[in-house]
Amino acid sequence: MALTLWVARHAEVAADGLCYGQLDVSPRVPHRDAAARLEADLGAFCPERVWTSPLPRCLGLATELSLRLACPLSVEPRLLELSFGAWEGRRWADLEAEDGARLAAWMADWTGGRPPGGESVLELSARVEAWVASLEGGDVCVLSHSGVIRALRVLLAGASWREAMAGPVPFLAWERFRR
């Protein structure tokens, strides 16, 4: 059975200059307003289910959207953003000043390397791929993060990781994927 995924990144967050990955950070737009915008942008698309990352910046938005669309909500840990481990919650400028060698090593091998205590881009991709493989088909919406959307670009749109990273992932904007 064919699968159509409409995937959107959460609303912009109050975390300027911060390495936040899986950290709980607050959105700048109320979930209710963000869900109304996303619903309007769906047009005639009517999903059977809304999937979401468990992080509050996605879960609150997905909850509002699923209520507006009158469809079930599923929370999926494999839709979490990349884990930056010990770097989460720290400013990128501080990381460069205080942990510059490890940051440089990670940036030199950003697909296979890991932040201290975190995960690699390839590990993120593997968990997203496992989630996609678990879906039977149908039409679904997904609320997640830029790392997950980039992984979907690689897995379902045929992009290379360099291409997936080069393109922006705007907040509150749908991307459509098919399998």
pLDDT in tens, 8-55: 999 999 999 999 999 999 999 999 999 999 999 999 999 999 999 999
Q: How confident is the model at residue 113 (pLDDT cuts 50, 70, 90)?
A: very high
Q: What CA–CA distance (Å, rounded) separates 20 from 37?
A: 24
What is the model's pLDDT at position 119? 97
Going from N- to C-terminal start, the domains of the chain cover 3-82+119-178
Residue 128, Cβ neighbours under 10 Å: how many? 24
Q: Please give the mean pLDDT across all residues of the chain.
A: 97
What is the model's pLDDT at position 109? 95
pLDDT in tens, 15-26: 999 999 999 999
The CATH class for the domain spanning 3-82+119-178 reads alpha beta
Q: pTM of the predicted model, to two decimals?
A: 0.96
Of 103, 105, 51, nearest in space to 79 by CA? 51
String of DSSP letters for 129-178: HHHHHH---EEEEEEE-HHHHHHHHHHHH---HHHHHHS---BT-EEEEE
The stretch 115-143 carries a mean pLDDT of 97
pLDDT in tens, 133-167: 999 999 999 999 999 999 999 999 999 999 999 99
